Amino acid sequence: MTIAARVFTLAVIVSTALVSDLSVEGVWYVSVIAIGAEAISLSRLLPERMLAVLEGALTGVAAIAAFPAHEAALPYLATPALIAGIAGGVRWVSLVLLGEALAMAAYGWLTLDMYNSDLAGSAVTWLTTGLGLGLLGSFTGQNVRRGTSDSSYRSALDLIRQLHALSGKLTSGLDPVDLADQAVDIVAEDVMVRQAVVVVRHGSAFTPLRFAHGAMGFPIDDAEQLLHRAWQTRRPVIGGARVALPMATETERVAVILVECASMPDSRTLDQVSAKLEPATLRLNAALLFSSVRESATSEERHRLAREVHDGVAQDVASLGYLVDNLAASATTDDQQRDVAVLRREVTRVVAELRNSVFDLRNEPAAGQGLGQSIATFARHIGSHSPLTVHVTLDESATRLRPRVEAELLRITQEAINNARRHSGAENLWVNCRVHPPRAEIDVIDDGDGLGSPRDDSHGLRIMQERADRAGASLSVVSPANAGRGTRISLRLD
């Protein structure tokens, strides 16, 4: 915008000078100032509003220096005021005009022998024009800045309203797993499907979204090349008894259906199946996008809560520890010292709980870290920050579960480990994790006192069961687990 203002003003000045047969001396002066100002602007050596003040003062000096050929230089006085209005508002417009007037008055008093009414009248005219343009620029800049800051939220608000209005009309829903099942059913209408899996791509790896018609009798890793070829070409690819059917729209790839066929279909049948998959592809794409937005919002909210807890209540409680230490130093009796020591241990425990809560909130499966690795990291963290001796057994394949399923299973396991740490009184904790999609088996076992009678306000097990239901997993709790002691919490995903 500043480039346009300077270029337009110079074009007007040059054309006016040529048509009116004015001296070009003033044109040269303001051209040098404009080019220098734009160079500084592009290099960001000065903020635009401060640069406008400097540019205006130099323009005032140039107008006096060009006298009596000042008519071509004076119109440029309005340009710094316009730029200041756009970049900084009314206050900076006033500073630019004041700087221009003072520069012209001071340099004129030093260099001119006498007062010139024509020069003064022209200067006032263009300073007034600069005031008008500066106010217009201030109004325009304010609207542009407000529109820029709010436009993303306005767009998001419009999209959310549209989604809310449409959600009730989506007869197939927005569950990617259900929609993947529907896609496999479409394929099964024309192809003799023995087993099938719908995979989506995360980074450079394929992740199973849904296994259908039984678990695959062969690892997904063995079909990587077949899946990549179908993904890249957007065409069905045959490999032995398997067929990879891409699900893609005109603009993006969505998923691949890997099918083990009882009888290999011909190319015409595969083309027909691909055409029939187009509506299912669109529905699945919408569901995956919706899930991605939901997961991103959930992750961001967890991180926000972690920051709030760490920077707020955790710091406040930690500060209480210093006050308790001061009380301990001033205790005069054994009873006081004993009570203060109990209070100090309780404050230390609360601080440790808050720090563990922050770790819980921030710990989630990363792009290069699977569910088993995330569970192992969390278990080792608990082992290093509690009296528990933690034993971790991990068996995890390179193939990942769906992100949403991984997140739910991780939260359940975290809750089970935390319950053992807080309430069991155990000395040992065993965490066994086996992940081979579509199956996952997780056991959390302690040698503590076992589960007591649950309180009316206890929701831990209920929330764990709700998470298991969302992930499609089964949850079992056995207490006592062994020889009258301990608790076993088991998760099974088939």
Domain boundaries, the chain: 2-148, 176-283, 366-494
pTM over 0.75: no
Determine whether 301 is exposed, middle or buried from the number of CB atoms within 10 Å of its CB (0-12, 13-18, 19+): exposed
Length of the chain: 494
For tokens 């270029």, what's the residue?
A: 7
Residue 299: its H or E element:
helix 278-311
| 346 CA to centre of own chain | 37
Smallest CA-to-CA distance from 256 within 270, 243, 268 is with: 243
| Pair 348, 356: CB distance under 8 Å | no
Please report, for residues 109, 238, 419, 470, the alpha-carbon distance to residue 235 in angstroms, rounded to integers and kept in the order given.
82, 10, 50, 34
The whole-number pLDDT of residue 206 equals 85
2-20 helix and 78-87 helix, angle to the nearest 10 degrees: 170
Judging by beta carbons within 10 Å of its beta carbon (0-12, 13-18, 19+), is residue 432 exposed, middle or buried? middle
| 494 vs 478: CA distance, rounded Å | 20
Do 122 and 74 contact (CB within 8 A), yes or no? Answer: yes
How are the residues of the chain apportioned to helix, strand and coil, as percentages rounded to the nearest 5?
60, 15, 20
Report the distance separating Cα 375 and Cα 392, nearest Å.
9
Q: What is the DSSP string of 388-416?
A: PEEEEEEEE-SSPPPHHHHHHHHHHHHHH
Q: In sequence order, what DSSP letters do the residues of 93-115 get, joined into one string?
A: HHHHHHHHHHHHHHHHHHH-SS-
Per the rule left: phi > 0, alpha: psi between -120 and 50, beta: everything else, 210 is: beta
**Bridge partner residues of 258 (DSSP):** 197, 244
Helix H or strand E segment including 435:
strand 428-436
Residues 6+ apart with CB under 8 A from 296: none
Q: Which helix (H) or strand (E) holds 346?
A: helix 334-362
Q: Which residues contact 251 (CB under 8 A, 6 or more apart)?
A: none
Q: Specify the pLDDT at position 164.
A: 66
Q: What is the distance between the alpha carbons of residues 494 and 216, in angstroms, rounded to a whole number? A: 12
Q: Tell me: domain 366-494, CATH 3.40.50.2000, correct? A: no
Helix (H, G, I), strand (E, B) or coil at 430: strand
Q: Which residues pair with 206 in a beta bridge?
A: 201
Cβ-based neighbours of 367, under 8 Å, separated by 6 or more:
202, 203
Half-sphere exposure of 3 (CA within 13 A, CB side): 3
Residue 431 confidence (pLDDT): 94
Please list the pLDDT of the chain residue by residue as tens digits (494 residues): 667 777 777 777 677 666 666 666 777 788 888 888 888 888 888 888 888 899 889 988 888 887 776 677 788 888 888 888 888 888 889 999 999 899 888 888 888 877 778 788 888 888 888 888 888 888 877 776 665 555 666 666 776 677 667 666 665 567 788 888 889 999 999 999 888 889 888 777 888 887 775 555 555 667 888 999 999 999 999 988 899 999 998 888 999 999 988 888 998 999 999 999 999 998 888 888 888 887 788 888 888 888 888 888 888 888 888 888 888 888 888 888 888 888 888 888 888 888 878 877 877 765 567 788 889 888 888 888 888 899 999 998 877 788 788 888 998 999 899 888 888 888 999 999 999 887 899 999 999 888 766 666 567 788 899 999 988 899 999 888 777 788 999 999 87
In the block, residue with structure tokens 């209540």: 313
d(CA 38, CA 74): 19
Place of tokens 């920050």: 385
The amino acid at residue 456 is: D
Q: Provide the 10 A C-beta neighbour count for residue 480.
A: 15
Question: What's phi and psi for 110, nearest 5 deg?
Answer: -80, -30
Q: Which CATH architecture has domain 176-283?
A: 2-Layer Sandwich (3.30)
Question: How far separated are the first and last CA of the chain, in Å rounded?
Answer: 60
Token digits for 152? 């993303």
- CA atoms of 356 and 378, how far apart (whole Å): 10
pLDDT at 135: 86
pLDDT given at position 46: 85
